[in-house]
Amino acid sequence: MRIVIATSNAGKLRDFAAAAAVYGVDIAALAHFKSLPEAVEDGATFEANARKKSELYSRYAPGELVLADDSGLAVDALGGAPGVYSARYAAMEAETVTAGEDVDAANNALLLCKLADVADAERTGRFVCVLSLAVDGREVASFRGEAKGVILHEARGGGGFGYDPLFYFPALGKSFAELTAEEKAAVSHRGAALRKMLEWTRSESP
């Protein structure tokens, strides 16, 4: 099976490929993705934004199963923030971002600042991933996965991307940035959502 993913994020592609490999599914990036019109991610939920993206980009790959995701970090002490704004968290507070600054680093710095006075027991949160699968401009299914953890006081690990260095997964005693690709695929929000989707595609196959 082949699934086309509408993203240019190398980290997401690695995560999807690792999770799909055990199912024998070929993950491919949507051709010329960066030159396509950008989806307007103004939905109030991960589900809404994922659907906007899958339906838009599936029009550029006729007949293909096109997968788009919306994912982010929801921190309990921050009322679920940064949530759907995870990728642009620091950019929404322009004074915290300087020209040329690494986006992930800026987002992580802002998160740590917001949680500076929050006790360890209250630094809980979860990664959320919603996958939307569309064909020829119409969503056919969506799948949600979550991974619960704790926000660290400082970054740990050199792998992963986004908030991974700050997201501690108690069951393995590591941050997401310290996990191997295989470990992360087994426990991550993206891996959980993808497994649900792959099981669905099996049940829908003739």
- Residue 95's identity, in one-letter code, is E
Per-residue model confidence as pLDDT tens digits over 71-127 = 999 999 999 999 999 999 998 876 555 545 688 999 999 999 999 999 999 999 999
Average pLDDT of every residue of the chain: 90
Class for the domain spanning 2-204: alpha beta
pTM attached to this predicted model: 0.88
Catalytic residues: 70
36-47: b (≥16 Cβ within 10 Å) or e: eeebebebeebb
132-164: b (≥16 Cβ within 10 Å) or e: bbbbeeebeebbbbebbbbbbeebbbebbebbb
User: Would the pLDDT of 181 be above 90?
Assistant: no
